[in-house]
Amino acid sequence: SWALQIIFTHQRYASEGYICFTMDNRGTWGRGHDFEKVIHKNMGDYELRDQVTGVKYLKSLPYVDSENIGITGGSYGGYMTLHALFRAPEHFKAGISQFPATDWRHYDTANTERYMGKPQDNEEAYKKASTSTYSKGLKGHLYLMHGMMDNNVHVQQAFDQIEALLKAGKDFK
């Protein structure tokens, strides 16, 4: 099925022969508090596990090229794209990360502190949730872009991620 907000992007990918698969991982709103609360003070971990589970399912299908799986997303989806490429590179060959949240210290405090608490009270969790922490894990192809579409994700997030990738000696676009 085609969700309205992604209809054009996925139809474009499909017209080029790609299979498009969208999965809501734990932490996604709209399924109740128990589904959401698992990411409390632990952002990026359970969500990545769920994405990997989805990819393993895809790899079990006879018509899926299991060696060529990519991931893409914007804002939180861009965040998950980076976690997937950095922390589970054996499952993802390429990714397009659009205006990603990369460090929750630089995000809208009203949303961040609901899940992470204050940075000074939870510094280790903030570091663990930051995508820059895992930049050395990149093995596939990364296309990183940022614009002004998401007013909660300041361009500084992209700059910080770019700096971490350069320090790690990683190639990206």
d(CA 131, CA 154): 15
> Rounded to two decimals, what is the model's pTM?
0.90
Owner of token pair 């630089």: 106
Question: What is residue 84's predicted lDDT score, i.e. its pLDDT?
Answer: 97
CB 52 within 8 A of CB 21: no
d(CA 150, CA 140): 26
Strands (E), the chain: 70-74, 94-98, 141-145
Backbone angles phi, psi at 48, to 5 degrees: -65, -40
CA 11, chain centre distance (Å): 21
How far is residue 101 from each of residues 4, 133, 151, measured CA to CA in Å?
A: 23, 13, 11
pLDDT along the chain (173 residues), means of 10: 63 86 81 80 92 96 94 92 97 95 88 88 93 97 88 90 98 97
Question: What is residue 38's predicted lDDT score, i.e. its pLDDT?
Answer: 84
Question: What is residue 4's predicted lDDT score, i.e. its pLDDT?
Answer: 59
CB 81 within 8 A of CB 97: yes
d(CA 70, CA 25): 17
